[in-house]
Amino acid sequence: MANLPLNIDYTGKVVVVTGAGGLICGAMARAFAQSGAKVAALDLNEEAVKKLADEAKAEGCIMEGYKANVLDPEALKAVHDQVVADLGPCDILVNGAGGNNPRATCDNEYQHEAWDGCKTFFDLDQSGVDFVFKLNFQGTLLPTQAFARDMVEKKSGVILNISSMNAYTPLTKIPAYSGAKAAISNFTQWLATHFAGTGIRCNAIAPGFLVSAQNKGLLFNEDGTPTARSAKILNGTPTRRFVDADELIGATLFLCDDRAASAITGVVLPVDAGFAAYSGV
Ligand code: NAD
């Protein structure tokens, strides 16, 4: 087994990870594969998941990459059928595809600080707001419809959603993304309750601040120096650090294991270096 933070044997389990072409879910898909699982790595970016799967296979792991749009139910159904044919019915679903969009992001933190040419709250693009809510909320609901039926039939399974720190308290500038992730935390509880009698558990991880393609522009200036926002994040984090994508692996492997987390369903686990706990004083 690779150098993972938790040695849990997932041999024989079929794990479907959406957004596996990205930073966080690529690391999660790799960790499941290194733990023995048969992994279906799904992403809109086919090249990224094919590359991830090739690398996993070169390490002796079982992983297939699939092009999949989490907002297209027909395409998800087709991918589901292909995953079942290739690897078997789904045991664990990680709903990782998600993110923000610049069209739903204000330039200014506070209305009274708006400047000439600034994109304010009043300029937010309705289609951008729709995009963010759709991607995060429906992009979790639709893959769950496509893959959780397998779990209902098996009377066991695990769903892991990806929420965020902004689900607890919204972050300035990104109202749609904050609201959409709050919806994910809420939906995690809903699913846990809805599937409670079927043997399926549903939990979420709320990652703290990572540096990724998605938020790089907000955290670093073009010359690589931290923005004022980065400084605020670090000052608001009692451990004064960002979180590394690999630091989500322990929580992921723990929450998806039916022995270790047998009585845990409906929780949102922060992996945030203390951000949610700190009042700033
Ligand atoms: P990322 O941009 O690296 O990865 C997201 C992946 O989702 C990309 O590979 C993208 O191609 C894929 N994707 C986008 N739309 C899709 C669609 N319609 N269908 C299928 N795939 C699609 O982002 P990340 O930082 O790895 O984020 C992963 C998850 O974690 C997201 O839900 C994000 O909102 C959440 N999150 C990220 C952070 C952070 O700081 N990076 C913090 C909290 C939560």
Confirm whether 66 is a catalytic residue.
no
Indicate if 154 and 222 belong to the same structural domain: no
96 in ligand 1 pocket by Cβ < 6 Å? yes
The count of domains in the chain is 2
Distance CA 141, CA 244 (A): 27
pLDDT beneath 50, residues of the chain: none
Q: In what order do the strands lie in the sheet with 62-67?
A: 62-67, 38-43, 14-18, 92-95, 157-162, 200-207, 268-271
Indicate if 158 and 79 belong to the same structural domain: yes
Rounded to 5°, angle at Cα 164 from 160 and 165: 140
**Residue 228's domain spans which residues?**
210-242
pTM, entire model: 0.96
pLDDT, one tens digit per residue, over 241-256 is 999 999 999 999 999 9
Query: Residue 219 has what pLDDT?
Result: 85
156 in ligand 1 pocket by Cβ < 6 Å? no
211 in ligand 1 pocket by Cβ < 6 Å? no
Indicate if 83 and 152 belong to the same structural domain: yes
Name residue 256's beta-bridge partners. none
pLDDT, one tens digit per residue, over 193-220 is 999 999 999 999 999 999 877 677 878 8
Q: Tell me phi and psi for residue 264, to 5 degrees.
A: -105, 110
Indicate if 58 and 74 belong to the same structural domain: yes
Query: Residue 218 has what pLDDT?
Result: 74
Cβ contact 151:90 at 8 Å = yes
Cα torsion for 170, 171, 177, 182, to the nearest 10°? -20
Indicate if 39 and 54 belong to the same structural domain: yes
Q: Which residue in the list 10, 66, 110, 177 is annotated as catalytic?
A: 177
Indicate if 173 and 236 belong to the same structural domain: no
Indicate if 179 and 42 belong to the same structural domain: yes
Query: Residue 1 has what pLDDT?
Result: 56
Indicate if 263 and 252 belong to the same structural domain: yes
Cβ contact 58:247 at 8 Å = no
Indicate if 63 and 145 belong to the same structural domain: yes
